[in-house]
Every structure is written in structure tokens, then in C-alpha cells.
Amino acid sequence: MIDWLVGRRRQPPEVAVLADGHELGAGMLRQLFIGQCLVLALHLIWMPAWLVGLALAVAIWRYFQLRQRVPRAGRLLRLGGVALLLGALWLQYGVLHDMDGLIGLLLGVYLLKLLETHNRRDARVVVVIGIIATSVAFLHEQGILMALGALMALAWLLQSLTRLAGAPDARCAWVEAGWLLLFSAPLMVVLFLAVPRLGPLWSMPQMDRASTGLSDQVSPGDIAQLSRSDARAFRVSFDGEEPATHERYWRVYTLSGTDGRRWFRAPPDELAATLGQSEGAFVREARRSPWVDEAAEAGRFRAELLLEPDSRPWLPSLGTPLASDSEQRYLADGTLERLTSQSSRSLLRLESSGAAPANADPAGDAWNSLLPSQVNPRTRALGEQLWQESGGDKRAFLAAIMAHFGESPFRYTLMPPRLGSRHRVDEFLFESRAGYCTHYASAAATLIRAAGIPARLVVGFLGGERHPDGYFTVRDYDAHAWVEVWLDGAWQRLDPTAAIAPERIELGPQAVEGGAEVFLADSPFSSLRLRELGWVNRLRLRWESLEYQWQRGVIGYQRATAREFMLGLGERLEAGYGWLSTYLRSALWRGAAWLGGTVLGLAGLTWLLRIGLHQRRWRNESDMLGYLRGRLVCLGLGPTSGETPAGHLLRVAPALGSVGAALRTIAEEYERLAYAPLNEAERSAGRRRLRQATKEIGRYLATPRYRARRAGAAGDDVAS
Amino acid sequence: MSTAKVGASVPGRRGASVPRGLRAWLGRRLTIAPGEPLPQRRLFLLPTRFGLVWIALVAVLLLFGVNYQNSLAYALAFWLAGLAVVVLVRTWRNLLGVTVELQLPREAFVGRESRLRVVIRAARPRTAIGLVLDVHGATLPRLETEATASLPWRTGQRGWQLPPTLRLETSWPLGLVRAVAWVQPTTELLVYPAPLEVAGPERRQLGEGLDATDFAGLRRFERGDSATRVAWKQWSRSGILTTKVFSVPPRQQLWLDYANCRGSPERRLSLLCARVLAHHRAGDRYGLRLPGLELPQGEGESQRRTALDALALFPAATEGADGE
């Protein structure tokens, strides 16, 4: 795989750019190709596999071109390649302007670019596109594994760049790339934490994404798709009280409309249009639920939700949502919606009641007890009969319904027989008598409505896996449907599944007998299948908790979190400063600080002065000699023309009396330094002697005694 | 002095002289002399085109991170920005403190290619340092402590010439910025006129008389003397090691005269130069007559050198005076 790209006629393959500075060597092309493979690998799970074929085709063409079997790719071939790419993407996605199509286009162009990569500039363009493609891969996923993969790709691309800049060998290139990454990592961390985050500046094409298969309409006949998948819907941790197992009813949608076969959700705008009311009667944007009296209900659960990216605006809430940390859409039916779709994971803090909403539905009782008249006649008859038997007591009526499910030979299964007739609820209640939550919930709701009592279906999740670290993971197979009944001025939760399979409520879907063959049918390699094996399960839990921390800490580091972090940092700094200032306010400390500061300042100043003088005067022998000669010239003892420096000093030595010996030393040392072959140690020793002698003379010339002598002997100067 | 007068009378020339002063000032400000370690103040960092592209890349990734609220895209953008800062320092340090020494060629003729040897020393290992002299360049892939490169350059004019400024540059490690320093040679090189060979009757056979055959005497042995030339007999007699010296019989005694050549002064100098070289090769004894200068007849390496020096330094101003 590595060797086959080496060209035959080329010089050593390690040379990145050939001597002419233009043509790329085979080694460099191989580097670029491996970089492309790494970047492509980041995308491969989400993108079509034929991109690998494209990469190989381009590489093979380049290989044969290096061996001179085929010519350079002409414009026709390159345009043909692009056209082929566009065609394939169109076949794959149907449209080109959605996110997947655009990413495919970017990757395809990145791979095709190798065809026209001939010089250093082209190679750098390839690397830059590679970096962009790496960052686009974060749209798919931002987990730990993706981050590690991206880091690997980045390191490879960097070492390709060092090769292009002239690294002589692989070791040198890798060492440099490693140092660069290491040195820049702290900078990256500081910038990541400190740079303020902005909201989206303009809208971008979004990835069409559903984190769960949870649908806003259900039909008893459909296959239990959700139980087949272990995809994560959301994660949640609680601040304060945690809900017990049987309380974890996550409401997502209420389905209040039915045509007898299926139950569907009536969104606020449709509902408003149908009932002739304003939309504001059904939904409001706020941070606090406008439908619940603030004083009446205190939130029971405070949850921090880590939500998976989803292009639909649904939000789960444990019972009725009461307040959130950011503006959301509160619906009158006690559910919650996001303002915009979410392209990446996000954090949401939510306060909720844990119970069904207490406010009446503005759509009215009539809407919530509507049943199509021609459908499911036997069920309606049964409902009316049970209502008669209970003698108008609503609670007795509901108990009778639950008892009906418990007594008749109903069974809970994830693989129920398919229901095909027009009267599906009839077919289920009186013939097949096997099904899962959707079947029971829709049957119960139909029975209740038959008695004229308002009722609606609620879909959402039930349960969730608790991690040792204290957070819950809710997965697709936790999806559930139940009924809410308007009773005594509030909605009441009624879960008919509890009558059939109480273990589903307490232990989760995997506990239900008869569901084993369907449970996780679409995830054959899921590690969740191994949850019976102790150490595998522990390993899985540890990994998931690490992943959770990563997602919460790094990926969730968005606007609010960043602001909070910086505020916290600022507070801590302020607190530290306050502590320090109170501590230092005592007189003793202040005196010591002043003293220490002064001493330090003086020392620094002296040091700087010394350095300056040292550099100016005493750096090398010619500077020292120049200084000395300047002093001598001032005294009228300057050199005559043609005199060597040493000769000059020897000549004027007698005139300086007691330091004449020092002057002779200087002359001797200077000549030694200038002409003798000395090594570095000898040289610096000689300089030191020279420096000492020079300073001695400088001190002597500055003394008053010498000045007096000079003044007295001014007339008969020796040197003149 | 006459050039100054001309410069004052023509306004255009005056304008041109200001940039020359500026250039000289810049030259002092920007360059270092050979032999001294490259200081910070003579080391310049310039962004490359790829560096600008890199900045754009960081901006694009930041926008990407902002619009998709994607933390990892933010992180990648910040990492690339951090890399750019680190690269700035790494590039700068790759050139800082390098010592350059220039070794001039032994002799150079106008219009011929001569080679400047560049010796580079550094205390730390360096990578991918480029040297550019005029238009020719060389790259040192790896410099442990010392490396040598030889750069060609075309000498321009006759006489004392400074070699062109040597540019040191490196864009290691990523090619985002380029560190540049200029080394201004301080030693001048005496450039000889271009030799101009003319085929003619005076062209001589260069075969005979080259061997030194006439015994001329004995001299004290010096290291390096050929063993066949040692006077072994004298040594056995006197114990003093001596060497036999032979003299080359001068084939001809001749004068190379400026006045006898034809053409422009430069052409005459070129002709004379070619003849000096030819006669030296033939072992002739020759003298040189130039206007205002007469070089007595002589032979050997020193004669050749003196003659060529005289030709190189022959003042061109007389020609300028002729023109006026």
C-alpha cells in the first residue's frame, strides 16, 4: 500500500519537492494520499462508501502518471470527474443542496484535487481543504473518538506541511509537527475558554437529523421500530431529587387527534386554524411556563438535559415543564419545543413537576373527546357498557378498563401480529389481544373517549439507565406511550401497560418476556447486548460516563456555559485579590512588601545598568582598547600615525607612573588575543585579565591625586 | 567630481540620487556583516501567501463554529491560530544567531561565472535555510553546526567589486511566515577584464620550451620539494640537503602594449588580459605598457597577478573624458 506509489524515475522518494522547486515527488503525493484517507475515514460512517472508490481511482491514475503510462489529467478528465461526482451525489441524495450532498461535494473535490496536484502550492491547497473537511466531520459527531481521529488527521496534515517546507527526513518532520502541536495546545485551551461565544450569525444548511425515531403520530398496527434501536435520545442529570423508577415518564408529544386507526398530534398552528382561535392561546415563548400558576406549583425536579442534535424541535420533560434557563416554546398541552432546530449537542436546564399538567386544554373538552363515529363500533360499545356498569363513577370506570386488560388474555409483546383492518382497535381488543404500549394506550384512550370523558395519548420515554456517576441515559428503546385523562379538574396519567406488563414500568423494555428477539434487533453489535457480562458492562459504563463528561464539558461549552465559566473565574480572581489585599493590609506586611519591592527594583536597575555598560564597553578586546585609547587621547597621550595599538601603549606607559605595569599587561594581552591561536577558555581568561587591567587604569585616571599631578606637570608633557 | 556637476545640471539625476542615499541607509539598517551572529534587529519576519491563506482558514473555521455552534470546530480554529503564533517563533528562532562567512573566489573575470563560498555556522541545529545570491539560490536541508554552500554569480564590472548582498531566508516549519536576513559582504573582490581571445598570426604554439631544463644552481631544501630534484650527491658530501634548481629558458621577451591594440578601451583591456593569460601559460617573459603605467618585463605567478591587477584597475575615467 505504501510502496506502490513510489515513482521509478524519481530521485530519493523522501524529497518533498524536486530540485526544480516545482514538481512534487512520489513521496509527497503518497503523504497527501494518506492524509486524504485519514480525513475520509472520519466521514466514512455517515457518507456513501463509493467515496473510497473515488479516492482509489484518483490515486491509481496518479500512480500510473508518475510511471508515465498515462498523461497528466487534462481539463476534460477533471471536468468529467466533477460531473461524475455530481451525478453520483444526485443519485445518492436526490438533491444536492442539503447538508449531506454538500459534504459529499467537498469530500469529492478534495479527493479529485489530487489529479491536478503538481507543485508545492497545489499540495498546500490539498492540505487546507483537508483541514476544512476535518472540521466539517464535526457536524456528524463530536465524541471523544471523533476528536482523537481529527487530532490524528491534523498531526498528519501538519507533518505533510513540514515536509513541504523542506524537512529533510520523516523523523525531523514528525518531531517538528509534535512540538508545534504541543506548544500550541495551551494557546488553544486558553482561547477556547476565554474567547466569548456568539450566537449563529446567519442560518446555514442544516443536517437532517433525528436523534430518536419518536414520531408525533402512532398507529397500533405499526412495527415497534424504536425497541430495535439503542440510539441515545438524551442524557440527563438531576440537581436535587431524582425520580424513582416508576416516575420517569418523559413527556414529549400529546396526541389528541384520532381517525380511528391512528392517533396524531395537532400542532398549535393547525389547532388554532381548526378551532378559529389565535395561536397565542396554544403556545407562548417564555422562560417560565405561562400555563401554570407560579405560586401554585413549585418544580419538583431540576434536570440538566444533554440533548442530541435533532432537526425537529421536540424537548422531553419529566411531567409538566415549569421553567427553563433559556427561552423556549411552552405549549398549552404541557409540552415543550425548541425555538430552532439543534445541529449539535446542547445543554438545557429544566424545572418540571413530575406529574401531568393541571391546566385545561384550550382546545376544549369536545376536541379531547372526539371519536370518529363509523370506526371501531365494538370498542365504543364496550366503552359505553363499562361506563354504564360503573354507574357514572369515573374512577370506577377507569379501574374497570384496567381490570379488563388485566383479566382478559392480553399479552405484552414487541412482535404483535399485524393489524390491517379498518377497525384496528376492535381487531386488537377482540381478536389478536397481543401488543405493546401503543396498542394498549390507544385502546384505552378510545374506550375512555367512548364514554365522553376527555382523554389523549402521550408519547415519550419511560425509564432510562442510571449510571454510577448519577446521570441517566435515555435511549430509543425506552420510548413509551400512555394516556392522560381529564379528571377532577386536572389531567391524570393512566398507563394501561402497567396492567399487562408491570415489569416494563419497573425494569425497562429488556425485562419483558417475549421481546428478546426483537429487542435491539437493528443493533447486532451493541455493547448493550452484553450487559449481563459483568466486566464488559462496567467497561461500557465507564466509557459512557467519560463520553458524558466530554459532551457536557467540551461540547456543551457554549454561550451560557462559557459566560458562567468566565464569571466564575472572575469571581475567584476577585476573591483571591480581596483575600490578598486584606492579608497585606497589616502594617508589618506592608513595610516588608515596600522594602522587598525597593530592593528588587534597585537590584534590577543595577543589573540592567551593568548589562548596558558591559555590552557597550567591555564586550571584546578592541572595545576595551578603544575605551582606553579614548581616555589617553583626552590626556593628550594619543597614538601617532602608523603606530600599532600595543606599541602605543608601551610608549606611553612610563608617563602613567604606577599603572604603567598595568598598561604593559594590556599591551601584551591584547597582542596575544589578537594574534595567538587561543582556544575559547584561554581567550576568555585573557579578556578577563585585560578587563581588570583596563578598570585599574580607569580608576587611577579618575583619582584626584592623579589629576593634581597632571595639573602640576602640565608644562612638560612626556608624549608631546 | 565631473559626475557631480552633471548630476546637478540634470534634474532627473537628482531624483535618482535620493533613493541611492536611502538605499545606503537601508543597507546599513537592514544588513549584517559576515562573521557576526545574526541579531534580532536584523532579522525580519514576512508573511507568505500561504500564511494569509492560513488566516483566512482560521476565520472560516471560526465562522463555521459560530454558525453551527460547534465546539470542536471552535477548538480546531483556535488550535490553528495557536499554531500560527508558535510557527512565528519557531521560524524566527530558526534563523536567529546564525553566523555567515563569505569566502571570495581567488580571481574573477568580467562576465564569467564566479562562485562565492558561504560557510554557515550555528550553535543549535537548523533546518531548511535558503541562501539567495542575486537570482541563484541554494537550500541547506539540515545544518547541525556548520555547512557550506557555493553560489554562482555573474560579476558585473572591472575593478574592485563588492559581491552582491546575500539573502538568508527560511520558512520552516510550516511555510506560514518567512524569516529574512541580508548579509552585506565587506571584502571587495578585484575583478579582471573579460579575456578576449583573437585567432591571429601572433597566436603562438604553446608546446615547446616549457620544461625547465637548464641547471641554474642549488638552494636549501624546503619541504614539498620533489625527491627527484634533491641533490643527493651534495648531501652525501656536505650533509646539507639541497635542491637543484632549473630555470625555464624564456621563449620570448615581449611587450604587451595598450597602444598596439585596436578598438574601444574595454576591448583593448580584454585583449591584453587574454594575452597575459596566454603568455603566462606559455611561460613567456612579458611586460605591460598602459597609458601612464609601465610594468617591467617579468614572468611567473607574481607577474601575472601584477599585470592583471593593473588591467583591472586601469581607470575608466579617461574614457569618460574622451566621451566628453
Residue A715 — pLDDT band, cuts 50, 70, 90?
A: very low
The answer on B228 and B177 residing in a single domain is no
CA angle A582, A584, A585 (to 5 degrees): 65
Nearest to A138 among B70, B78, B175 (CB): B70
pLDDT of residue A17: 53
Which residue is associated with the grid cell 467515496?
Answer: A51
Whole-number Å distance between alpha carbons of A117 and A109: 12
Cis ω before A639 (30° cut-off from 0): no
Specify the higher pLDDT residue, A421 or B250: A421
CB-based contact A224:A414 (threshold 8 Å): yes
- Of the residues A42, A129, A184, the best mutation for testing chain B's interface (the one with the most B CB atoms within 10 Å of its CB) is A184
Closest CA to A423 of A369, A383, A384, A378: A378
For residue A333, list its beta bridge partners: none
Is the distance from CB of A262 to CB of A217 less than 8 angstroms?
yes
- C-alpha A406, offset from chain centre: 49
- Within 10 angstroms of residue A614's Cβ, the number of other Cβ atoms is 11
- Flag if B139 and A166 touch (Cβ within 8 Å): yes
Q: What is the distance between the alpha carbons of residues A143 and A549, in angstroms, rounded to a whole number? A: 10
Q: Does B80 touch chain A (CB under 8 A)?
A: yes
The per-residue pLDDT for A21 is 53
Helices (H) and strands (E) in chain B, counts: 8, 17
- Residue B287 domain flag: yes
Average pLDDT value over all residues in chain B: 82
The per-residue pLDDT for range A293-306, each reduced to its tens digit, is: 766 666 788 898 88
Cβ B73–A150 below 8 Å, yes or no? no
The reply to whether B58 and B182 lie within a common domain is yes
B173 & B34 share domain: yes
Contacts of residue A185 in chain B, CB cutoff 8 Å? 79, 82
B238 and B133 within one domain: no
Region at A508 (left for phi over 0; alpha for psi -120 to 50; beta for the rest):
left
Interface predicted TM-score (ipTM) of this complex, two decimals? 0.76
In angstroms, rounded to a whole number, what is the distance separating the alpha carbons of residues A559 and A326? 11
Give the best-scoring range by mean pLDDT among A86-90, A294-298, A498-502: A86-90
How does pLDDT run across A101-152, given as a tens digit for each residue? 899 999 999 999 999 888 889 999 999 999 999 999 998 888 899 999 999 9
DSSP 3-state assignment of B288? strand
| Closest alpha carbon within chain B to A181 | B83
User: pLDDT band at B19, cuts 50/70/90?
Assistant: confident
DSSP classification of residue A597:
H
pLDDT at B209: 41
User: Is the bond into B173 cis (omega within 30 degrees of 0)?
Assistant: yes
**Nearest to A457, CA basis, from A437, A428, A431, A433:** A437
Element (H, E) at A610: helix A587-617
Does A186 or B144 have the greater pLDDT score? A186
Range of A335-344, A419-428, A460-469, B146-155 with top mean pLDDT: B146-155
Q: Does residue B52 have a pLDDT over 90?
A: yes
Q: CA of A551: which chain B residue's CA is closest?
A: B71
Question: What are the chain A neighbours of B63 within 8 Å (beta carbons)?
Answer: 201
Query: What is the C-alpha separation between A515 and A532, in angstroms, rounded?
Result: 16
* Cell numbers given for B108: 574573477
Q: What was the pLDDT predicted at A35?
A: 96
Domains held by chain B: number: 3
pLDDT band of B316, cuts 50, 70, 90: confident
CB A153 within 8 A of CB A130: yes
State the alpha helices, DSSP H only, in A284-416.
365-368, 377-389, 394-407
Banded model confidence at residue A227, pLDDT cuts 50, 70, 90: low
Compare all CA atoms of chain A with the CA of B76 and give the residue at the minimum distance.
A135
- Bridge pairing between strands A411-412 and A434-435: parallel
User: Span A566-588, mean pLDDT?
Assistant: 84
- Reading the block at residue B75, the C-alpha cell is 477548538
Question: B183: distance to nearest CA of chain A, Å?
Answer: 22
What crossing angle do the helices spanning A26-43 and A50-66 adopt, rounded to 10°?
Answer: 180
Q: Tell me, yes or no, if A197 comes closer than 8 A to chain B by beta carbon.
A: yes
Using the predicted structure, report yes or no on whether residue A502 has a pLDDT greater than 50.
Answer: yes
Look-up of cell digits 404483535 = A416
Pair (B138, B243) in one structural domain:
no
Confidence at A526, pLDDT banded by 50, 70, 90: low
Does A138 contact B172 at a Cβ distance shorter than 8 Å? Answer: no
* pLDDT surpassing 80 at residue A28: yes
Average the pLDDT over A201-208 and give the result: 72
Q: Do the domain assignments include residue B24?
A: no
User: Is A386 exposed, middle or buried, given 0-12, 13-18 or 19+ CB atoms closer than 10 A?
Assistant: buried
Residues 342-381, chain A: which have Cβ within 8 Å of B?
343-344, 346
Count CA atoms closer than 13 A to B105's CA, side-chain side. 20
Residues of A annotated as part of the active site: 437, 480, 495
- Asked if B60 has any chain A CB less than 8 Å from its own CB, the reply is yes
**CB-closest option in A142, A199, A203 to B72:** A142
Q: Is A242 exposed, middle or buried (0-12, 13-18, 19+ CB in 10 A)?
A: middle
Contact A388, A334 (CB under 8 A): no
**Same domain for B147 and B264?**
no
A162 touches B at CB < 8 Å: yes
> What is the pLDDT at residue A343?
67
d(C-alpha B308, C-alpha A606), whole Å: 59
Strand ranges in A184-320 using DSSP code E only, listed in sequence order: 217-218, 232-238, 249-255, 257-258, 263-264, 283-288, 301-307, 314-315, 317-318
Give the SS3 label for residue A709. Answer: helix
Question: pTM (2 decimals)?
Answer: 0.67
List the single range of A13-17, A676-680, A692-696 with lowest mean pLDDT.
A13-17
Which of B70, B76, B141 is opposite residue A134, by nearest beta carbon?
B76
Is residue B199 included in any domain, yes or no? no
For residue A619, is pLDDT > 50? yes
A349 burial via Cβ count (<10 Å: 0-12, 13-18, 19+): middle
Measured between CB atoms, does A710 come within 8 Å of chain B? no
- Residue B317 clears pLDDT 60, i.e. is over it: no
Answer yes or no: do B231 and B272 share one domain. Answer: no
What's the pLDDT score for residue B93? 93
Predicted local confidence at residue A542, as pLDDT: 84
Encode pLDDT of A211-223 as tens digits.
Answer: 556 777 777 766 5
Q: Are residues B95 and B162 in the same domain?
A: yes
Considering CB atoms only, which of B60, B142, B174 is closest to A165? Answer: B174
pLDDT tens for each residue of A352-368: 888 888 888 888 888 88
Residue B248 — pLDDT band, cuts 50, 70, 90? low
Q: Which residues pair with B289 in a beta bridge?
A: B257, B294
- CATH number of the domain where residue B47 is located: 2.60.40.10
pLDDT, one tens digit per residue, over B128-140 is 999 998 888 888 8
Q: What is the pLDDT of residue B54?
A: 96
Residue B41 in any domain: the answer is yes
| Domain presence at residue B274 | yes
SS3 category, A74: coil
Q: Percentages helix, strand, coil for chain B, rounded to the nearest 5? A: 40, 30, 30
State residue A708's pLDDT score: 60
Nearest CA in chain B to A191: B78
Contact predicate B53/A158, CB 8 Å? no
Mean pLDDT, all residues of chain A: 82
- B193-216 pLDDT, tens digit per residue, is 988 887 654 444 333 444 556 777
B97 located within any domain? yes
Q: Do B170 and B48 share a structural domain? A: yes
> What is the least distance, in Å, from the CA of B28 to any CA of chain A?
19
3-state secondary structure of A315: strand
pLDDT number for residue A530: 60
B142 and A CB contact within 8 Å: yes
Mean pLDDT is highest, among A173-182, A557-566, A689-698, B134-143, for A173-182
- Top pLDDT among A14 and A443 is at A443
- Give yes or no: residues B185 and B222 share one domain: no
Cell digits of residue A293: 400558576
Query: Counting runs of H as helices and runs of E as strands, what totals does chain A give?
Result: 23, 19
With pLDDT > 90 as the criterion, what percentage of chain A qualifies?
18
DSSP B157: S
Q: Which of B57, B71, B176 to mutate to test the interface with A (most CBs of A within 10 A)?
A: B71
Contact A226, A479 (CB under 8 A): yes
> Does B76 contact A135 at a Cβ distance shorter than 8 Å?
yes
Report the alpha-carbon distance of residue B303 to residue B310 in Å, rounded: 11
Residue B219 forms part of a structural domain: yes
Q: B241: domain range? A: 214-247
The shortest CB-CB distance from A165 to any of B67, B70, B128 is to B128
Residue of A283 and A617 predicted with greater confidence:
A283
The amino acid at B154: R
Pick among A140, A188, A310, A343 to test the B interface (most B CBs inside 10 A)? A188
In sequence order, which residues have a C-beta less than 8 Å from that of residue A205 and are 6 or more positions away?
Answer: A97, A98, A99, A102
Structural element, H or E, at residue A54: helix A50-66
* Half-sphere CA count of A381, side-chain side, radius 13 A: 8
Residue B206 lies in a domain: no
**Residues B40 and B168 grouped into a single domain:** yes
B83–A180 CB contact, under 8 Å: yes
The amino acid sitting at B49 is: R
Contact B233, B268 (CB under 8 A): no
Q: Is A452 left (phi over 0), alpha (psi -120 to 50) or beta?
A: left
H helices of A618-679, in order, are 621-634, 645-652, 660-675
Residues linked to residue B242 through DSSP beta bridges, in sequence order? B220
Instruction: Give the H or E element holding residue B247.
Output: strand B242-247
Question: Same structural domain for residues B272 and B164?
Answer: no
**The three grid cell numbers given for residue A495, joined into one nine-digit string:** 398507563
Q: In whole angstroms, what is the distance from residue B275 CA to residue B308 CA?
A: 10
Q: Which grid coordinates are listed for B155?
A: 560579476
